[in-house]
Amino acid sequence: MSVPFWIWVLTLLLIAGLLAFDFFAHVRRAHAPTLKEATVWSIIYVGLAILFGVAVTIFGGVEMGTQYFNGWLLEKALSVDNLFVFLVIMGSFAVPRQDQQKALLFGIVFALLTRSGFIALGKAMLEAWSWTFYIFGLVLMITAGRMLAPEDGESGDADNFVIRIAKKYLRTTDHYDGDKLFTIENGRKVLTPMLLVMIAIGGTDLLFALDSVPAVYGVTTNVYLVFTATAFSMMGLRQLYFLIDDLLDRLIYLKYGLTAVLGFIGIKLILHALNENNVPFINGGKHVDVWDIGDIDSLIVILTILTITVAVSLLSRKGLVASAIRSLDRRAHSYLHTEYHNTEEERDALYQEIVTREAELEKYNPKYVADYMHSSGLETTLEKVHKMHDDLA
């Protein structure tokens, strides 16, 4: 079903208005959102996304509504996965909590722009070459397999390749000036680490877009639904970051759920491609009679997998330990990046928090703690932290 141009215009104005409101009402004044603020606005943005889906269902029909909710749910799950990387980046750069909002909003806007470009490119490919469904399906299945590979923990680090290049060719300082991108140092205008944070977030957003766009095209080929599902999945992501900061670490099985979902969507795309087949070397370029998974079936499968994944993660004792270890690990790495601490008081306060969280590990299952400490390399990191503290004392 085609969508009239004026609907596109109204939708774009609505999304731009929401982003502008987010900036002027919340981000413009640097502050750390309270739990109440983050909760209220997270609920509001989720509510807006659902209301939009209801409107799509009413005016576009049940099929369009189902496809929208399929896409929104899928993209929402993938965007939560993005937050893990954002946490690592913020920790690597030791970004003060009250100054994190601008970087997060930039990440959301940049992600929306890059995804819009990939959405347009994906639509053009699908219209030009029907075998693109095969490509998208294989991409998702490869992505699903890659998610199961051990994490190297380096992709979000402050010393990655992109950041080293930026530091080499741009005039930067290691000190923050609130959430400003530029400051004056020794009489010269220089870039603050906040810009480097945005570069790191933008780079990871670009990589995530390569996976998320083929995924959403697996549940609908309506470009309007693809765009709106993607856009509304990102609305409220900033508030969600502050709401479930440490809770994110509890979702230890989320990557397995996302692996299953992406694998399922990849299979769905390939089955659809076989039904629409015109590739000469597959069945002589003729239709292959296989099951084409319906929209309702997809919605049920995605919702079931994600619900089970989140529930099992939150109920898991391992999840509690993983949450404590990962949170401590981020703070330890943040402490080691001394160049990004504005004052000695900030560094000392962070060290005291590390000591407190390290002591709290004693209340968890020793075996789980030992396993996660070993796999994350936290033992070595903490040794460096304590040695650095003693040397600076």
Q: Is the pLDDT of residue 23 over 90?
A: no
**DSSP string spanning 142-182?**
HHHHHHTSPP-S-TT-TTSHHHHHHHHHS-B-SS--TT-SE
3-state secondary structure of 191: strand
Which domain-ending residue is among 282, 315, 348?
A: 315
> Which residues on neighbouring strands pair with residue 172, listed in sequence order?
191
CA distance 283 to 222: 28
Residue 153 has pLDDT above 60, yes or no: no
Q: Count of domains in the chain?
A: 2
Residues 166 and 308 in one domain: yes
Which stretch of 152-161, 212-221, 233-242, 285-294 has the lowest confidence by average pLDDT?
152-161
86 with 138, same domain? yes
The pLDDT assigned to 318 comes to 83
Asked if 131 and 225 count as a contact pair (C-beta separation under 8 A), the reply is no
Last residue of a domain, one of 270, 295, 315: 315
Determine the Cα–Cα distance for residues 332 and 355; give it in Å rounded to an integer. Answer: 10
**Domain extent at residue 93:** 5-315
More confident of the two residues 108 and 228: 228
Domain boundary among 315, 330, 358: 315
Are residues 271 and 245 part of one domain? yes
| pLDDT average, residue stretch 136-163 | 68
Do 40 and 72 fall within a single domain? yes
d(CA 210, CA 195): 23
pLDDT score of 317:
84
| Same-domain pairing of 251 and 176 | yes
The two structure tokens encoding residue 139: 């991409």
Same domain, 138 and 164: yes
Same structural domain, 216 and 170 = yes
Same domain, 178 and 310: yes
Greatest mean pLDDT among 78-92, 172-186, 286-300 lies in: 286-300
What is the C-alpha to C-alpha distance for residues 104 and 138, in angstroms, rounded to an integer?
31
- What is the pLDDT, as a whole number, of residue 158? 47
Whether residues 115 and 241 fall in one domain: yes
Structure tokens at 147: 């998610």
From 24-38, 161-175, 176-190, 306-320, the region with the lowest mean pLDDT: 161-175
Q: What is the model's pLDDT at position 285? A: 74
Whole-angstrom distance between the N-terminal and C-terminal Cα of the chain?
A: 68
Cα torsion angle, 131, 132, 136, 142, sign: positive
Whole-angstrom Cα distance, residue 113 to residue 173? 28
pLDDT tens string 120-142: 888 888 888 878 888 888 888 88
Nearest to 223 by CA among 130, 116, 110, 72: 116
Please report the pLDDT score of residue 156 as a whole number: 44
In 3D space, the residue among 249, 238, 244, 243 whose CA is nearest the CA of residue 331 turns out to be 249
* Residue 56 identity (one-letter amino acid): V
Counting beta carbons within 10 angstroms of the beta carbon of residue 183, is it exposed (0 to 12), middle (13 to 18) or buried (19 or more)?
A: middle
CA atoms within 13 A on the CB side of 275: 11
The single residue listed with the structure tokens 């995605």 is 302
Q: Are residues 17 and 75 in the same domain?
A: yes
pTM of the model: 0.79
CB 341 within 8 A of CB 347: yes
Q: Are residues 302 and 325 in the same domain?
A: no
User: Among 288, 272, 166, which Cα is nearest to 219's?
Assistant: 272
| Distance (Å, whole) CA 191 – CA 204 | 21
Same domain, 299 and 361: no
Residue 333 has pLDDT above 90, yes or no: no
Tokens (6 digits) for 121: 């490119």
Residues 131-157 have a mean pLDDT of 74
3-state helix, strand, coil in the chain (%, to 5): 75, 0, 20
> Which pLDDT tens digit goes with each residue over 39-50?
888 899 999 999
Contact 386, 371 (CB under 8 A): no
Largest pairwise CA distance in the chain: 75
